[in-house]
Each structure stands twice: as C-alpha cells, then as structure tokens.
A and B are shown apart, each in its own frame.
Chain A
C-alpha cells in the first residue's frame, strides 16, 4: 500500500479553521484517500474520503491536489471535541481488499 506522511502534531484555536496536510507522493490512480480520527478513549471514526475531486460533508472538507500527491483535511470551525488523532490513509480500489492501514497520524490539539 502506498504510504502517507503527516505532521506528528498540530495546534489550533477553538472556532478557527484547521488545515491538516497529508502527503502521498506514491499514490496510484486507484487509491482512495480516506481520513479517520480517533478521539481519546474511543474507537476510530470515519471523517471523509475522496478519489480525485474535492469533497464536503457535515464534518469536514477534503481538498485533493490536482496531481493527487497531497491532500488537506479542512475542519471549518474547530471545537474542543475535534481534539483527536487524525489519520490519512490510502485505500487501494484496484482489486485488492483496500484495507485500512493506519499510520502514525496527526495529533490535533484545540485550545479554548
């Protein structure tokens, strides 16, 4: 599976936007970009995913670079509840099972 690179940690202020970057320079044409987050003492939670186009849902937006070698998860107004580890994961849609292989993720801290 192609790998992703994320910063170890980021800080944000409450009610401000947060941009979480992810580099995936070896992405293949069939790889989906998935984001999950894990709040303290909870199981991971799906956030958003995309293939080529930018995506929006009620939780976040996903901006995918034109060459697909990087992407950014955007939380429009961070709340204290958004403090979590955010995982950017590539999932192969080209015939394999495309399992979730978690990397180290980015630990997001939100300051009041």
Chain B
C-alpha cells in the first residue's frame, strides 16, 4: 500500500470558521509534510514532521496549526483564514526525512475560503 489519503477532498469555509484537514498513511513512514499549492504555481513546503515532532515550519502564519497525533496521521487545523489562503493543500510522507528518500503525495484538499 503506497497510498497517502487526504480528507476532505474539497472544503469551503468562512473566515470565522475552524476546520481541520486530515492526512493518513500506513506505509510506516516517519516523515510527513504539508504543502500549499496556489493555482498554476508549484507546491510550497509549509511544515515537516520528523518522528512525530515538528522539525520545520516555513514561516507559516499561526492561523495554520499542524498536529501529528501518531506516526500514521497528520492534521492541519485551520482558524480565521483569509480568502488568499484558498489553495490546494497537499500532504506527503517519506520513510524518513531527507534524500534520497522519495516523498509520496496525497491527492490534496482543495480549500476555498469565503
């Protein structure tokens, strides 16, 4: 099983809402990632979790709050988002952080902030 699953597939939320994105993998990977992808742009790294600990936060605003409850699960909690946060949010995992280990990506959650 080389699948990374993400739920929901689509999410529409208002600027005062609180919502969460979920990512799951059962490959025994110990590194998990969140990326943000705006339309017609490349993915941008947001967070890296290594062995369930946050190792990289790429200066992401605090309205995005990641959580890694266990080695298989990664959440992204959203609060007080802005319309410009509308994007495709991608989750990925790899056996361990760093090269040469490839990353496996999920299909993404398409988020619209109204």
Residues on A close to B: CB < 8 A?
32, 34, 36, 38, 42-46, 49, 51, 85, 87, 91-93, 96-105
Contact B99 A42 (CB under 8 A): no
Contact A44 B90 (CB under 8 A): yes
Name the B residues within 8 Å of A85 (CB-CB). 42
Cβ-closest chain B residue relative to A103: B42
Contact B100 A42 (CB under 8 A): no
A87 and B33 CA atoms in complex are apart in Å by 18
Known: A32-B100, A91-B98. A101 touches B92 (CB 8 A): no
B56 at the interface (CB under 8 A from A): yes
SS class, residues of chain A in contact with chain B: loop
Residues on B close to A: CB < 8 A?
4, 33, 42-45, 48, 50, 55-56, 90, 92, 97-100, 102-108
Known: A34-B99, A34-B102. A105 touches B107 (CB 8 A): no
Known: A43-B92, A45-B105. A97 touches B100 (CB 8 A): no
Name the A residues within 8 Å of B90 (CB-CB). 43-44
Contact B103 A100 (CB under 8 A): yes
Cβ-closest chain B residue relative to A100: B103
Contact B108 A43 (CB under 8 A): yes
A-B contact pairs, 29 of them (CB 8 A): A32-B99, A34-B102, A38-B43, A42-B107, A42-B108, A43-B92, A44-B92, A44-B103, A45-B105, A46-B102, A46-B104, A51-B100, A87-B42, A91-B98, A91-B100, A92-B99, A93-B100, A97-B48, A97-B56, A97-B98, A99-B45, A99-B48, A99-B56, A100-B33, A100-B43, A101-B45, A102-B42, A102-B44, A105-B42
